[in-house]
Structure 1
Amino acid sequence: MQKNTGLKRIFLAFGYSIKGIKSAFKHEAAFRQEILLAVILIPIAFILEVSQIERILLISPVVLVIIFEIINSAIEAVVDRVGTEFHELAGRAKDMGSAAVLIALALTAYIWIEILFF
């Protein structure tokens, strides 16, 4: 089997990434909800009269939520693929992925509140 290198590898990797985003959108309700949140908050960040640094700080955690949700969904998919029976480590992996999303959401809320109200 020949490995893909150079521009072909980059092109294929981009395609796989787009496929992953489409899959998350199709199969994950939380991802769709967080995309909706981003569609609302990111334009608001551009409308607000804040500095460039503050705008970056408003947008970054919103994007991080989406990144963590994709990682969480990937963890859940792999755990579910391995087996349907309960296993403590499988539950722990799913819970930790979910915790990462929760922390990113809390960070988003904190930054938005801090910049807009204080």
Structure 2
Amino acid sequence: MLRLIGAFRNSARAFRRLLGSEAAFQQEVVLLLAAIPVGWFVATSWRSYALLIGVILLLMLVEVLNTAIEAACDAVSSEFHPEIQLSKDCGSLAVLITILIAGAVWAIAVIERIVGGPI
């Protein structure tokens, strides 16, 4: 049980730090807070609502991992290294791919809401 409490404290510390210093994470938290009520009106079922919120949480997860990669790379060296640049670029690409997935999921949900059923 103590291990679980310690893990929760570490996670809360990371959340507070990201919320205080990472603009992308701050924007994604705002996006999540907006998506919770908007998704309720867009979704046609509980399943689609869970998917709409889940894809935003997925985006936040990938952003957290990208930030971890960048922090680890910066801790290793402040000098330019092609391998470090590739690591950072790959993390950034992962975020972009997740944004595209989230946008597609939300676009499909909006279209389904407008036409009145699955497309």
Moved over 4 A (4+): none
> 1:56 — aligned with what?
50
> 1:31 — aligned with what?
25
- Count of matched residue positions in the alignment of Structure 1 and Structure 2: 112
Q: What residue identity is the alignment partner of 2:71?
A: A
C-alpha distance in 1 between matches for 2:83 and 2:42: 44
Structure 1 gap ranges (5+): 1-6
TM superposition shift of 1:114: 0.8
- Give the TM-score normalised by the residue count of structure 1: 0.89
Q: Describe the SS at the equivalent of 1:102.
A: helix
C-alpha distance in 2 between matches for 1:31 and 1:97: 14
**Can you list the C-alpha shifts for 1:17-48, whole angstroms capped at 9, x where unaligned?**
10011111112111101111111112211233
Q: Is 1:99 aligned to 2:62, yes or no?
A: no
Structure 2 gap ranges (5+): 113-119
C-alpha distance in 2 between matches for 1:31 and 1:94: 16
Contact 2:42 2:109 in 1 (8 A): no
